[in-house]
Homo-oligomer: A and B are copies of this chain.
Amino acid sequence: MRYAFITALLLSSAVLVAQSPTPAGFAPSSVESQAKAEKVFLDSVTPASARKWLAALTEEPHVAGTPAEKKLADYVLARFKEFGLAAEIVRYDVFLNHPKDVSLKLLAPYEEELSLREEPYVIDKDSTQEGMFPAFHGYGASGRAEGQVVYVNYGSPADFAALSDMGISVEGKIALVRYGGAFRGLKAKEAQDHGARGVLIYSDPRDDGYGAGEVYPDGPMRPESAIQRGSVLFLSHMPGDPSTPGWPSTAGAKRIARAQMTNVPKIPSLPISYGEAEKILRRLGGPVVPRGWQGGLPFTYHIGPGAARVAMEVQMDEGLKPIYNVIATIPGSVEPEKKVILGNHRDAWTHGAVDPNSGSAAQLEVARALAAALESGWKPKRTIILASWDAEEYGLVGSTEWAEEHAADLQKNAVAYLNGDAVVTGPELEMSGSASLLALAVEAAREVTDPKRGGSVGAGWESRQRAAWATATPIDINAKEDAAFSARLGPLGSGSDYTVFLDHLGVPSWDFGFNGGYGVYHSVYDNFRWMEKYGDPEFLYHAAGARLWGLMAMRLASADIVPLRYSTYARDLQVDLDNMRRDVIRRARTQAAPGEADAKPALNADFAPVLTALDELRAAGEAADRAADAAIKSSDAATVKRINEALTSVEAAFLDAKGLPNRPWFRHMLIGPGLTTGYAPWPFPALQEAVEAKDSAMFTREVARVVAALKAGTERLHTAAGR
């Protein structure tokens, strides 16, 4: 369900990617055999094959918990086995919902049944919606709600604060929210917390409709009737099966009832199209919306309430339903207990040609080509796991339950998690992830040809990073010279299956996709025709995606020294921390009473201990990388083993067992999804929570935990460096 639309752009301003021997982590003696295996792998990947997988994967809609999704699990299992890989289906029974009876009615100023279905187009067979649920929200509550409507913009805490300043409340009303910004579950939560009776979330044409490009079926963007389905889980509080919060949904597991669940809404919600939303929005009274709230419909938006009254009826079939992860395993020859995991979900809200099956198709192609490499004699040192997750759309359920079940093993033995999801919507590579994977990702991406634009996909990525850095990075006019550009992997937020690995278990994680104009997210038009017409007509980027993804895995699994490089880790954190420091000063400025020249900051935030700890981490990371480079040359087995053990334990050292202040499942002290954003990351999430809460005491407490986490990671790096 990853949504590129909200990808946060956080950029660095320090030195270049540290150059290590290429490919990083390989002893001179291993380079040739690895190169040979990689060539077999790369040459085995074909667009035609990816196309075939995508066609099969998108034959029918396959929502988690439905027979169609079980059928696809069997299909993927059969493919893995056909390629010669060991594979199995892992079933969990988890709490899910499907719509039983949903409807939405405009009651006033005139009666009209509003549509929860999308327009079928003759030229697009999949748009007929055979076998498709009507629009609903995953984990949406059952209930009936009726009332006047208030437009709350994106439904963020800031939007609700602005509403309150205007003296308007959603209490007892239906909140009409537009998609964009935060994860939709957090929109529902804000509306619920402010007393709304029900929530309608619509896609504004300015954001991903005609305001952003030509609409389907004439273009890739969202047409008038398209509906963004999706989960309304409070994703940033805790993902996974809400009936087993924090533990795996294994047979006989303890369960909690819906009423006890704290991360699902209690008021009904529905997603709607802008065609239907317009009928409501045009009938809102009250003040004209504040600057920035106006969308793309051709009239002046008002806050409401007003003439419009609506009634929503939402009856869900909810309870335990089976989901199916498909797990293929390529055992390691030297350290079989060490694991490199490639995961992609398989369940979709509709046919899901982009989300997630562009990724699933690429993943099958990775599997097929890895099998070819194995066939040619390649023997990875470490185990590679290919995971086809189920029920990601509801809240990363399949990956979370599996990783919770194997938590101890993964935390000790997982080298890295490589995520796919909506892998192709166009030609532009985006990558995010743990800073330790930057050097590897850059090297790998430089070896994958851009099939349409020429050069490598890595060069294109670096060039776009540079352009964004040039525009966004603050300039210090008092510095002797301008900061130098360096590429970075943007921090991971949430909204896809890397979450449990990185944020709960501390496994270095990486996520990627090839992006372009994509406005049909979670609608019936995210189907094979869309992909053939707009996303990747020749399936060239599916192939490029498979190549990049597989190459990352091959190197992680085979390198003599695991290619986790720590010399840039502190640099990226420093950029993030500097952004937070600027933000704190900005808030102090804007909170100060008008006219006060010597405004006191609202928050007493002393960043000094973190800055010191970052300096230590920087030095330790550089020393560890130097030690790794030296060990590669010396090939001393004990040293190599010590370094590998140390390097694979650094990320987990950044966890704190008590977790983040208001959401203990999230344990990483340096990164997490924003509490109020869901998709977008918050670096130093505990500090950011203190900043949001304007709580100086909390800030000081959390600084101590952040520093402890940084020091713990620094210690591991000292061990790697032999100190």
Whether the Cβ atoms of B213 and A594 lie closer than 8 Å is no
Whether the Cβ atoms of A582 and B485 lie closer than 8 Å is no
* Residue among B212, B288, B588, B589 making CB contact with A214, cutoff 8 Å: B288
How long is the Cα–Cα vector from A469 to B471 in the complex, in angstroms?
Answer: 21
Q: Does A565 contact B (CB under 8 A)?
A: no
Chain B residues near A590 (CB-CB < 8 A): 467, 470-471
Chain B residues near A219 (CB-CB < 8 A): 288, 300
Q: Does A352 contact B (CB under 8 A)?
A: no
Q: Does A215 contact B (CB under 8 A)?
A: yes
Q: Does A311 contact B (CB under 8 A)?
A: no
Q: Does A52 contact B (CB under 8 A)?
A: no
* Residue among B300, B469, B578 making CB contact with A221, cutoff 8 Å: B300
How long is the Cα–Cα vector from A599 to B585 in the complex, in angstroms?
Answer: 30
Nearest B residue to A586 via CB reads: B475
Known contacts A462-B595, A594-B467; is-contact A477 B585 (Cβ 8 Å): yes
Known contacts A482-B585, A585-B477, A590-B471; is-contact A466 B595 (Cβ 8 Å): yes
Of the stretches A291-299, A671-679, A699-707, the one at the interface is A291-299
Most chain B beta-carbon neighbours within 10 Å: one of A16, A298, A578, A592: A298
Q: State the Cβ distance, A273 to closest chain B Cβ, in Å.
A: 14
Contact with B along A580-611 (1 / 0, CB 8 A): 01100110111010110111000000000000
What is the size, in residues, of chain A's interface with B at 8 Å between Cβ atoms? 48
Q: State the Cβ distance, A640 to closest chain B Cβ, in Å.
A: 32
Which residues, 632 to 672 on A, are CB-close (under 8 Å) to B? none
Nearest B residue to A214 via CB reads: B300
* Residue among B463, B482, B581, B599 making CB contact with A477, cutoff 8 Å: B581
Chain B residues near A474 (CB-CB < 8 A): 474-475
Q: State the Cβ distance, A532 to closest chain B Cβ, in Å.
A: 20
Contact with B along A105-119 (1 / 0, CB 8 A): 000000000000000
Known contacts A463-B594, A466-B594; is-contact A215 B300 (Cβ 8 Å): yes
Most chain B beta-carbon neighbours within 10 Å: one of A297, A299, A599: A299
How long is the Cα–Cα vector from A588 to B471 in the complex, in angstroms?
Answer: 11
How long is the Cα–Cα vector from A484 to B597 in the complex, in angstroms?
Answer: 6
How long is the Cα–Cα vector from A361 to B218 in the complex, in angstroms?
Answer: 54
Chain B residues near A595 (CB-CB < 8 A): 459, 462-463, 466
Q: Does A210 contact B (CB under 8 A)?
A: yes
Q: Does A143 contact B (CB under 8 A)?
A: no
Whether the Cβ atoms of B582 and A470 lie closer than 8 Å is no
Whether the Cβ atoms of B484 and A589 lie closer than 8 Å is no
How long is the Cα–Cα vector from A582 to B477 in the complex, in angstroms?
Answer: 6
How long is the Cα–Cα vector from A385 to B11 in the complex, in angstroms?
Answer: 56
Q: State the Cβ distance, A494 to closest chain B Cβ, in Å.
A: 26
Q: Does A211 contact B (CB under 8 A)?
A: yes
Chain B residues near A288 (CB-CB < 8 A): 213-214, 219
Whether the Cβ atoms of B476 and A586 lie closer than 8 Å is no
Known contacts A296-B298, A581-B477; is-contact A462 B594 (Cβ 8 Å): yes
10 A-B pairs closest in CB distance: A463-B594, A470-B589, A298-B298, A470-B590, A210-B300, A477-B581, A475-B582, A214-B300, A484-B597, A475-B585
